């Protein structure tokens, strides 16, 4: 069972940056495994003395660029349909 330590709201963006950095640089993940409190402090995160450091989520598997392009295209189509009536999309001129 994974113990989850809540990250204070004001530190969530900092923790997200730490996670992204740890996913892209294994040295940061290794440093976090060895000295989580020091790494958290480096990212501007302080936890109560009795709180355990949160675990980093596992890195996602390999993602192909094609999958991202398809997902981004679907998202843009949805945004365009919802927020851009035909006139702003070039229709009805």
3-state DSSP assignment of residue 49: coil
Triad 64, 26, 51: Cα angle to 5°: 115
- Residues 69, 32 share a domain: no
- Residues 18, 43 share a domain: yes
- Residues 53, 34 share a domain: yes
Does this model's pTM top 0.75? My answer is no
- Residues 66, 88 share a domain: yes
Residue 82: per-residue pLDDT: 44
- Residues 34, 9 share a domain: yes
- Residues 75, 31 share a domain: no
pLDDT beneath 50, residues of the chain: 1, 63, 65, 68, 75-89, 91-93
Domain ranges, residue 82: 62-93
Q: How many domains are there within the chain?
A: 2
- Residues 36, 67 share a domain: no
């Amino acid at each position: 069972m994974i113990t989850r330590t809540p990250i204070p709201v004001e530190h969530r963006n900092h923790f997200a940056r730490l996670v992204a950095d740890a996913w892209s640089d294994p040295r940061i993940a290794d440093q976090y495994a060895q000295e989580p409190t020091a790494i958290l402090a480096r990212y501007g995160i302080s936890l109560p003395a009795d709180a355990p450091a949160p675990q980093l989520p596992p890195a996602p598997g390999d993602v192909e660029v094609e999958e991202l392009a398809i997902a981004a295209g679907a998202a843009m189509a949805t945004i365009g349909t919802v927020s851009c009536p035909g006139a702003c999309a070039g229709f009805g001129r």
